Structure formats: structure tokens, C-alpha cells
Structure 1
Amino acid sequence: MPSTAEDLPSEIWFYIFTFIEGHDIVQSFSSLNSFFNSLLHSQYLQLHIRIKKNESNKRLPLLTWSHIDLRNIYSLSVGQRKANCLIQFLRWNASYLICLRSLSIYLRKSKFDNYIQIITSALQQMPSLRNIRIKYTAQFNPDIDHFEPLMTYIFSTKSTIQKCSFDFRMFHYNMIVSKWSISPTLKYLNFYNTSWNNLFSILSLTPYLYSFQALIKQSDTILNKDIVLTHLKKVNLYLVRPHLIQLEMLKDVAPNLESLQVQGNFSSKHPAYFNENLWYKVLNNLKYFYVNLSTYSESNSEKQVLRDYILDLNGKGWFTWEEHIPNLYAFIKFTSVTI
């Protein structure tokens, strides 16, 4: 049995370090002895760095960064309050981040166009990048495509990115994808606050997509339906009042789909939701599915419509309802265990 920390194999320490933020590793283990110094300067070390305010300039703080080789940085992120610091860090140091695999970025309105250019340039200098997360929660100008340079690069043959997570408020207008290319690498996609039309526009450019999840707030008409994604196996959706036909279209797009999760709410004004045969059509041939949708009625007319469905579906295991005055609630639930 090892009697000291230094007796543990280096591989175990490298594994332990993957669970600790890079600054904490340096502050805790640097200058202890030659063993740990050799670990901190090893090419096998993978550091997960969270950028701080005083680390955004070209000249990094000497004390901490003298023990950090930029080539050892495996993932890079920043807190939302210091979002601009990471952009400046990439501006000065992107060319050294040759082993970076994961990047998480917040964007703000201030200097937005300039920062998009910096990020786009940085991505082209990081050949190992596989995972990128971008969050921008301000409102978009629907007449200007501010993200065009960035998205054009991500959806290009030069990009190495396999997993993208976009948190944009892009459900009030259609994305312009005419300058984007079909992605040969993108396999995983997370897309929040979007519309069906934007989602399908992106799906048309990701033929090798394996899995995606999306929060879809607008049930618009899908314009681009001529898509076949043979590699798509897993879909996780949170929906706001979708039309059931949109789920049918999605099923047609992914003929080899194995797993489908659908959560959110629906409108009692659409009779398709209460049609058991249509649900079986959507869920047919899936290895795993989970549906959890709810609705509520406030007005007397809406309540009466819902009560009629309650009467017809009484005893169905996938349909339940509750009444909490003044509202009437209904729930649609399907799981692969019970159906």
C-alpha cells in the first residue's frame, strides 16, 4: 500500500486533477516538491480553467500562470459577470490552446460584433476543440444576423466541433443559413429558445447528428421538411404548445430514432393530442420514450371542451386530470415501461 502521496502512480494524480479547477491545482500543489512540480509540467496533465478578471490581458499574472502550460488546458469557461474576460483571453492566447477540447462562452451586447470576430478567429486556431457552449440572452435584432461569421465557421468543413450548445433567444424570427455548409463533424446539438423552423434549418445541415435536445417556444409551420437523418438516435424536447404533426414530421426525419423524450405543455384546443392512435404512430418502433405534457383551462368554454375529452378518455392510463378551482388541469403521459 502507498504510504505517501508521492507513491501513487502519476496516472492516478492526473485523473484526480481532472476534478479540480486549474487554479486550485496550481495553488495547492505547486512548489511542494519535485514530484508534484513534474506533474504540473507534464504533457499528460489536463487542466480545466475558469478565467478570472485579471487574466484577460496579453500578459498573464506571473505567480499562477508560471506553473500553467497553455497547451495543457483541456476546458475553458468563465462566469457570466466576467464574460468579456474570456473573450480577451482568447484574443491573446488562442494560438497556444492547441489541446483545448471544451469552451464555454457568455456574450453580452457591449462590443458584440467585435467579440464575435475575436471568437471566430480564435476557433480557427484551436485544432482540438470538440465542444462549444455559447450563451446570449439579450434580444436579437431580427433584421441583422450578428452571429453570421461565427455560425458560418461552426457549420463549415474546417470546423472540428462535434458538440454545440446554443442558448439564444431566436424564436421570433427565422435564422439565415444560406452561407452555412453541411457539417461533417457535428454529432450532438443542444438548442434553447428556438422555433421549429430554425431547428429544422439546422438539422438540414447536420447529416451525421446522433443526438439533440431543444427547448422550442414557437409552434410555427416547418418550412424545411425534406431531411433524412439516418444517424439520429436520441431526441430530448421541451415544448411550448406544439402541434402533434410536428412530432410526426420529426419522426419521419429520423427513421432510425431509438429514444424520444417530450416534456412541456399543450393546448386543449387541438384534438390530435387526445387521439391515442396518433400517439402510437409517433411512438412506434422506439426503444425508449417518455412523454409528459400538461395543460389547464380557465374559462368555462375551455373547461367544457376539456371535460368532454375527460369523459371520452376516462380509464386511459396515459391520460389523467385534476381540478383545482378555478382551473382544470389535464396531463398526457406515455412511457416505454407502461405502453
Structure 2
Amino acid sequence: MISCLEDLPDELLLDIFSYLSPIDLFISFSYINNRFNSILCDQSIQLGIQITNNNYNKINYFADYFTHIYICNDNDIDIRQFNNVRSLILGPYPKPTDELLNQLVEQPLKYFPYLTQLTVYQSLSTWYSPPSVRLWTQLFTNKFSSRLKHCSLPGRIFALPTTFFYCPSLRSLSIGGCSLRDLPILLSTLPNLKFLSTDLWGIADIKNQSSYHHSNLSHICIKFNQQTIVLEELSCLLSYVPYLKIFTIEGTQKHDTFNIDYWYNVLISQFEYLKNFYCTIRLSDSIVNNKIDINYIRNFNKLFSQMKLYRRNHIHSFTHRGGALELALAFINTNANALSINIKINPNALALMALVLSNA
């Protein structure tokens, strides 16, 4: 009995397809019938295509099939042909050229109507190039499709806008940096933002800060770019995001003394909605006490009974899990021989944790 290729189950067809190059696969089987088109468009199938000068002309044949594109070479390519792209990454090596950025910002509603995720890596020297400025402006003035929900601009520093900014569609934003003074301005332009990641610079005058509150931001990752974290600035930051559920902070503490009770007083006021807290603080050598009795901590409370001591890259660390709501604190010394504390506990036991660390 002679059987046709179409009689084979999808599993065998996929196995056969794996022996073909993506370009040959699409040229040979696309548009034959609905079944083959459905298999080729299956979101679970990921095909990587390396674009070269030899095959670039063939890409046009099935450009509409591309949904995730990662541009990481120097080949001249017109990204405007990929009208069905959902996720677009430009860079990091090499950084996108001005020509590529110009393609991105030229009528994005027309050429990228389904774009939901955008990542653009830029070097410092291109921040203020015309296509870069145009990209920044168009992102925050709704020139892209309302489907664009996630945007990452590593290295891009937020500056006060020269035009009216307002982008209700963005749900996630990662940028290179923002000042604490400008943070409420940034947040006010993104009313539906759920996630923000940025480096943060503090300011001297905390008293004159905005009383702005963001009602939707629930997950924030902050890295303090200064020699020491000022708790007043941290408190000011948290006041902008009263409904925070997940908070990640990284910074340096170079004072001669470190009082975790002060940190406790700042953070405990924000625990009404907080479910996860992750903190990495680099301490100066004069702060860290290397004499930590792990058995004492384990016996102090049953919450700490599973705490473990481990070594990673010449740094000792403590880890612990406990409670439905998790809290994580990490104190990392710049000295390779110093200790690192990494504790995850129930927020209700935060006072006990402060006592344990102060007595360690």
C-alpha cells in the first residue's frame, strides 16, 4: 500500500522537518494546505535562521511567518518586512545601527502592528542620535501599537521629556537609569506599568519630593548607584509605590556601622502588600562580623531550622526558606573572605531576624 506524506502523524512530520533547513522547509511545505501551514506556524516550534548574503533574498518568501526576531549580526536587513513579529531584539553585539533604528521608528504602527516585546541595546555614544531620540519619543507618545507591553532599553537614561509623554499600554519597562527626582515623572507617564527595572540616583533634598503614588506598579528592581544607600531616599522611593508586591534592591553600605533595625523600620511600613523582598547590600570590611554561629541561628527559632551555610566564589552564604510570604536579605562584603548572609523568612519574623543578625 502506497501512503502519502500527508498520511503521517504530526509527530513524524516534525521529525522529518528537523532534517531540513528552516528556509528549505518553508519553501517546500508552506502554502500546500492548511495542515502544513498549521504545523509550520505552531508556536511550540522554534526555528533558528542565520541570515547570510547567500540566503537573504529567500527570507522574503516567508517573512510573514517570523514572530520572534533577534538581530545579532552586521548584515544589512530590512526589519520592516517582518509584519507579524511579536518580539524584537536589536543587539547587544553589535549594537543596532542608525539605519536599523530608522527602520524601527518609521511608521511602527504600519510595519510592526503586532509587536508586544521590544529590546534595544544602545551604546552611550548613540543616546542622542536622531533615530535614538525619535525611538524614545515614539515609545512614550503611543506611536507604537497598543499591543506593545514590554520594553527594555538597557543603558538608556531617563531624561525629562521635551514633549508630552503618556503611554498607557506599557506593562513592563527596563532602562539604564533614572534619578529619584525624576522617578515620579516617569511613573506618571506609565499609569498601567506593572514592572520597572532601573539604576537609581539619589538627591539631596528629600523633603521637597513629589507625593505621587502609582496604583499599579507591583514589581520593581532598583540598583542604587551611589557609595551608600540613604534610608531616607529608600523610604521616599517606597512611598511612590504603595502597592508593591515584589521588591529587589541592590546597593552599597559604606558607613562604619550598620544597624538592621533602621532597615526594618523603613521596610516594615511597606509590608501590607509585599510578598517577596530581595536585597543585596555590599558592606565595608569594618561592618561585617565574620563570627556567625550557624547552629545558634538554627536553634533560635524553628523558622531558621533549615538554614544552610555554603561557599560560592570564596564567599560564605546562608540560605533559608520559610513561610508563605518570603523575604530575602543578602549582605555581601567586598572582601572575598567575608561572609554573605542570604535569608528567606516570613515577613512576620523580621524582628527576630534583626535580633539574630545583631547578635551573630
TM-score past 0.5 threshold: yes
CA contact (8 A) 2:220 2:246 kept: yes
Aligned to 1:74: 67
Aligned to 2:153: 166
CA contact (8 A) 1:51 1:78 kept: no
Q: How many residues align?
A: 302
CA contact (8 A) 1:225 1:249 kept: no
Residue 131 of structure 1, CA deviation: 0.9
Q: Give the one of 66, 77, 89 matched to 2:78.
A: 89
- The answer to whether residue 220 in structure 2 is matched with residue 235 in structure 1 is yes
Which segments of 5 or more consecutive residues in structure 2 lack a partner in the other structure?
305-327, 351-360
Which segments of 5 or more consecutive residues in structure 1 lack a partner in the other structure?
none
Aligned to 2:272: 285
Amino acid at match of 2:134: P
> C-alpha distance in 2, partners of 1:323/1:157?
44
User: Structure 1 residues 277 and 124 mapped into 2: Cα distance closer, same or farther (>3 Å)?
Assistant: same
CA contact (8 A) 1:145 1:176 kept: no
Q: Give the one of 200, 206, 231 matched to 2:190.
A: 206
Q: Deviations over 1:289-339 (max 9, x none)?
A: 2233233335xxxx2x667xx9xxx98989897999897667585644653
Q: Deviations over 1:131-168 (max 9, x none)?
A: 100111x3248887863211111111332221101111
Q: What are the residue-to-residue correspondences of 1:1-339 with 2, within 5 Å?
A: 7-8=8-9, 24-27=21-24, 31=28, 39-40=36-37, 44=41, 52-54=51-53, 60-62=56-58, 65-66=60-61, 68=62, 70-79=63-72, 82-83=73-74, 85=76, 88-90=77-79, 94=80, 96-106=81-91, 113-121=98-106, 123-125=108-110, 126-136=112-122, 138-140=123-125, 147-160=132-145, 161-168=148-155, 170=157, 175-192=159-176, 195-197=179-181, 199-214=183-198, 216=199, 218-220=201-203, 225-240=210-225, 241-268=228-255, 274-298=261-285, 303=286, 331=341, 335-336=345-346, 339=350
Amino acid at match of 1:129: L
User: Structure 1 residues 145 and 25 mapped into 2: Cα distance closer, same or farther (>3 Å)?
Assistant: closer
Amino acid at match of 1:242: I
> C-alpha distance in 1, partners of 2:233/2:258?
14
CA contact (8 A) 2:26 2:40 kept: no
SS at match of 1:295: strand
> C-alpha distance in 2, partners of 1:45/1:324?
48
User: Structure 1 residues 272 and 152 mapped into 2: Cα distance closer, same or farther (>3 Å)?
Assistant: farther
| Identical positions, percent | 13
SS at match of 2:121: strand
> C-alpha distance in 2, partners of 1:267/1:280?
20
CA contact (8 A) 2:281 2:330 kept: no
Residue 230 of structure 1, CA deviation: 0.9
Residue 77 of structure 1, CA deviation: 1.1
User: Structure 1 residues 179 and 334 mapped into 2: Cα distance closer, same or farther (>3 Å)?
Assistant: farther
> C-alpha distance in 2, partners of 1:98/1:142?
26
> C-alpha distance in 2, partners of 1:124/1:33?
27
SS at match of 1:54: coil
Amino acid at match of 1:31: S
CA RMSD of aligned residues (A): 4.7
SS at match of 1:157: coil
**Larger deviation, residues 268-277 vs 121-130:** 268-277
